[in-house]
Structure 1
């Protein structure tokens, strides 16, 4: 399947500490001789060659037609949040460890850039959670929104309302609201279900529940979820995609809604990406049978093993 993507400016989002300079050089070399500008933000000025244009964050968001995120899933999520008001295709290059979103390795970057230039890719839409009701530094999450206790004393106590109907209350170490993308993260570790990306659902999962609702609840993408901090709650920290967003006090009401097309991810091979994700999930806690694991090994590696 092919997609048409006319890019006049590509933006770079770099992992804050990992060495990604070789990948940056590959991208710059690929753009050389083409009518494509490569842009970065002021904070990355010392990590990119002189050919890369440095623009303000506002200009970056306004001008780029596509983004290449160099890092892991965290960098990819940061790039998607950065472009939340103007979603553009984001390609992830995995300089991290266990990545579920990023698809391309640094070694595969030249081939990936060639396929992008040929239009040989697809765009995968990703839903995003939007949090309102309290002042937060981060309001958009492609993985999850987590309400957790500050310190080890007490418990998070919140009332759950869905579409203005009371559903009960949670008293737990934390409460996780996750998208299908984020369902394999904290939600999964807390015993919540893995949601299919095609489901468009949202899952609310308590972490170490003490009383109240003790099991995950799966809701529709159009449902309006509200969590109100109860009078008996410990102080609450609000994290969005693992980033500290702020806090919520007793009586504060947080509403969580879904933007169905909050972000765009470039996929070069949806089938291979799905297979890798199955391997990563099996490493976590979804064991596959030996014959199923063999199917996930690339054919070239299987051939080499047979010949050895």
Structure 2
């Protein structure tokens, strides 16, 4: 089994983290490659890293059986985007803040290595979104596609169609089209529902709509979405996973549907999705218990 390590080299402790993980993998005689983006820090390498094999991203993905993403949820989303056509499972090591997608910290990942070797883990398929703008520019997202007003101070007009059936036209700051994976991201902050990853649905959550009756809408992932976005400013902002953003002329016609290829995430059998929710969102935590400590 070969592991491919994709690090976020902007993280403060990334060198130390890679050294710890490399040392642990070598204890188990596991083969691995490190993305050659790490070579930008070569002057800071210890002897442990100087003896490692570094490959360009695409070659690393092609030659690896499992991809290890080291950074945070943003790094995980970027890794998933790079792996989208290769059908390789991804494991996330979190050095960031929240860590919904990047399940492990460094210590728990070290403990997980024997499970990798014995294949004692679960592969979870997560749906992704594909689409286009004006039948030209391609869109792809694991979390969400966000259509908004951009730098324009006023609201934009949004028309929604589902499978060519007209749904509504309303004014808002924008709309979020989210997968179950993305339901705990931006969509959640706008009042959207939390959707379990095994659900085959897509959520449409308006951003600050001008009418209080315009609420989040959950549809089947087999349905196709058409959004017509218009702005008096003449421009529409569209971003995928908060990482790939562009400005388009108004009106813009955005077409979105479920990708035929899922993203594969490898999870520990000792942790459930609901345990992650409890830990990350502090469900069941009685804040009254902490008042006496203030």
TM-score interval, smaller chain = 0.7 to 0.9
For 2:263 and 2:69, how far apart are their aligned partners in 1? 13
For 2:212 and 2:232, how far apart are their aligned partners in 1? 13
Deviations 1:97-146 (A, max 9, x none): 1111121111222211122112111111111111213555x732111110
Q: Does 1:186 align with 2:179?
A: no
Mapping 1:52-91, distance limit 5 Å: 52-91=52-91
C-alpha deviation, 1:180, in angstroms: 0.9
C-alpha deviation, 1:163, in angstroms: 0.9
Give the match's secondary structure for 2:182: helix
Give the match's secondary structure for 1:77: helix
Judged with a 3 Å threshold, the aligned counterparts in structure 2 of structure 1 residues 260 and 194 are, in CA distance, closer, same or farther, namely: farther
Equivalence for 1:220:
220
Equivalence for 2:292:
none
For 2:260 and 2:21, how far apart are their aligned partners in 1? 30
Deviations 1:165-216 (A, max 9, x none): 2212231011100111111111111111111222211110111101597111
C-alpha deviation, 1:152, in angstroms: 4.3
Match among 7, 10, 13 for residue 17 of structure 1: 10
Q: TM-score, normalised by structure 1?
A: 0.82
Residue 33 of structure 2 contacts residue 60 of structure 2 at CA under 8 Å; is this kept in 1? Answer: no
C-alpha deviation, 1:230, in angstroms: 3.0
Which portions of structure 1, spanning 4 or more consecutive aligned residues, are displaced by more than 6 angstroms?
Answer: none
For 1:183 and 1:196, how far apart are their aligned partners in 2? 8
Equivalence for 1:247:
247
Match among 284, 290, 293 for residue 288 of structure 1: 284
For 2:270 and 2:228, how far apart are their aligned partners in 1? 39
Equivalence for 2:146:
146
Judged with a 3 Å threshold, the aligned counterparts in structure 2 of structure 1 residues 61 and 38 are, in CA distance, closer, same or farther, namely: closer
RMSD: 2.5
Residue 170 of structure 1 contacts residue 212 of structure 1 at CA under 8 Å; is this kept in 2? Answer: no
Residue 92 of structure 1 contacts residue 102 of structure 1 at CA under 8 Å; is this kept in 2? Answer: yes
Number of aligned residue pairs: give it: 278
For 1:54 and 1:271, how far apart are their aligned partners in 2? 32
For 2:165 and 2:233, how far apart are their aligned partners in 1? 21
Judged with a 3 Å threshold, the aligned counterparts in structure 2 of structure 1 residues 24 and 120 are, in CA distance, closer, same or farther, namely: same
Judged with a 3 Å threshold, the aligned counterparts in structure 2 of structure 1 residues 265 and 30 are, in CA distance, closer, same or farther, namely: same
For 1:268 and 1:245, how far apart are their aligned partners in 2? 33
For 2:271 and 2:30, how far apart are their aligned partners in 1? 32
Deviations 1:9-30 (A, max 9, x none): x222212411222332233234
Residue 230 of structure 2 contacts residue 236 of structure 2 at CA under 8 Å; is this kept in 1? Answer: no
Unaligned runs of 5+ in 2: 290-294
For 2:110 and 2:231, how far apart are their aligned partners in 1? 56
